[in-house]
Structure 1
């Protein structure tokens, strides 16, 4: 009887962290998917390859990125992993304006 309880405790100790990690990963994937759906022309984004570009065109499964002046390439929408424009807006909104500035 004691060995069964010990076995159940060991299984719980192994499974609980795995379940928590899976939940966190699912939540992050859902956030990325929502960001990909919310892309709009003019957003500065980063792809899975680390390429920075500005969205200049959007189709159902592809986005056109301008990676240099007059250089445009098409990417799968799923390759976009970060919207730098939104991150900049969030970081500037969280800055406390009551702090005195140093000149």
Structure 2
């Protein structure tokens, strides 16, 4: 058994200038589920499973992430869950 690992992925999207028209062009970043959230979908999914399947409160999840070397506060987790529930509600209404 290997427990979940948290890691940071840095994505760089270079900017280029067209020599002919002097126009700035940048590669598009991929769409994310929660917009400009610093967390990927895998972290959000792990929080959802731990919260609603394993019944872990946010303070325990905060301690788990801190032991793994990345502190995610319980307020941040709660905000992301609210954003996710709003997204899911709008998807259900559409």
* Richer in strand (by share): 1
Please, what TM-score do these two structures have when normalized by structure 1?
A: 0.27
Q: Which structure has the larger Rg?
A: 1
